[in-house]
Amino acid sequence: MIQPSILSCLFLGFIISLLVGCGEQKRAGGGIWDQTENGVALTVKDPAGNPVANARVRLVSFASWSSEVLAGKTPSIDSALTDKNGQALVHTTSWPVNLEIESPMGMKREEIFGADSAHATTVETPSELSGTVAITSSQAPSEVRLAGSTFRTPLSAQGKFSFVKIPAGTYSLVAIYPSSLSLLTSVTTQHGDSIKLGTLALPDTNSILLDDFEDGNDVNRYHEFTGEGWWYTATDSISQVIPSKISTAIVTGTEAWQGGHSLHESLAVNLNVTGKYALCGMDIEAGVQSSNKTFIAHNLVTVDSITFMAKGSGTINLQWYSTFNASVGYANRIVAHFNLSPTWTQVSLKPQDFAPEPQDSTFTWNNIAAQTSGFAFNATLPANLWLDNIILHGISESQLFPQLRKP
**What is the average pLDDT value for the chain, to the nearest integer?**
88
Instruction: Tell me the CA distances in angstroms from 384 to 377, 379, 390, one per residue in order.
Output: 11, 9, 18
Q: Report domain extents, the chain.
A: 27-122, 127-202, 211-404
Nearest CA to 376 out of 277, 309, 291, 245 is that of 277
Q: Give the pLDDT band of residue 326 (cuts 50, 70, 90).
A: low
Nearest CA to 174 out of 151, 198, 199, 191 is that of 151
The confidence score (pLDDT) of residue 12 equals 44
Domain 27-122, architecture per CATH: Sandwich (2.60)
pLDDT in tens, 262-317: 999 999 999 999 999 999 999 986 554 444 444 557 889 999 999 999 999 999 99
pLDDT in tens, 250-265: 999 999 999 999 999 9
225 in helix, strand or coil?
helix
- φ, ψ of residue 402 to 5 degrees: the values are -60, -20
The confidence score (pLDDT) of residue 293 equals 40
Q: Look at 38 and 3; give whichever has higher pLDDT.
A: 38
Nearest CA to 286 out of 395, 210, 373, 219 is that of 373
* Cβ count within 10 A of residue 257: 19
CATH superfamily, domain 127-202, is Carboxypeptidase-like, regulatory domain (2.60.40.1120)
> Above 90 in pLDDT, residue 36?
no
CATH superfamily, domain 211-404, is Galactose-binding lectin (2.60.120.430)
> Above 50 in pLDDT, residue 23?
no
The confidence score (pLDDT) of residue 185 equals 93
Task: Report angle CA 14, 15, 19 to the nearest 5 degrees.
Answer: 115
Task: Report angle CA 120, 219, 370 to the nearest 5 degrees.
Answer: 140
Q: Quick one: what percent of the chain has pLDDT higher than 70? A: 87
> Above 90 in pLDDT, residue 402?
no
Q: What is the average per-residue pLDDT within 159-185? A: 95
> Above 80 in pLDDT, residue 329?
no
CB 118 within 8 A of CB 67: no
Q: Give the pLDDT band of residue 95 (cuts 50, 70, 90).
A: confident
Instruction: Tell me the CA distances in angstroms from 121 to 40, 108, 112, one per residue in order.
Output: 12, 8, 12
Residue type, 232: Y
Contacts with 68 (C-beta within 8 Å, 6 or more apart), sequence order: 61, 74, 75
Which H or E run contains 65? Answer: helix 65-70
Nearest CA to 52 out of 95, 16, 101 is that of 101
> Above 80 in pLDDT, residue 321?
yes
Which H or E run contains 281? Answer: strand 278-283
Nearest CA to 394 out of 373, 363, 357, 365 is that of 365
Instruction: Tell me the CA distances in angstroms from 304 to 298, 325, 352, 396, one per residue in order.
Output: 15, 25, 9, 12
Whether 211-404 and 127-202 are alike in CATH topology: the answer is: no
The strands making up 160-166's β-sheet, listed across from edge to edge, are: 160-166, 127-134, 194-201
Distance of CA 281 to the CA centre of its chain: 16
CB 207 within 8 A of CB 391: yes
Q: What is the average per-residue pLDDT within 63-86? A: 94
> Above 50 in pLDDT, residue 10?
no
Q: Structure pTM?
A: 0.83
pLDDT in tens, 183-206: 999 999 999 999 999 999 999 889
Distance of CA 263 to the CA centre of its chain: 18
The confidence score (pLDDT) of residue 361 equals 81
